[in-house]
Structure 1
Amino acid sequence: MSILSTTMPDLGVGYVVKWSYISPSDGAGSTVINLKCGQDIALHLNPRYINGCVVLNSQLGGGWGPEERPAGFPLVKGVETALFITILPGEFEVKAEVSGQAPWVYKYKHRTAVEKLDGIEVGFAYGAENTAKFKDFYVLKAF
Structure 2
Amino acid sequence: MRKLNIFFDVDNTLIMWNGKLRNHAHEVFAELRDTGHTIYVWSGVGIRRWDMKRHNLDEFVEDYFIKPLEDHHERLKTYNVPVVPDFVIDDHKTVVDAFGGYHIPDVAAPDDRELLEVLARINEMATLGDVEEPGEADVAVSP
Bigger share in helix: 2
Bigger share in strand: 1
What TM-score, normalized to structure 2?
Answer: 0.30
Larger-gyration structure (1/2): 2
> RCO higher in 1 or 2 (8 Å CA, sep ≥ 6)?
1
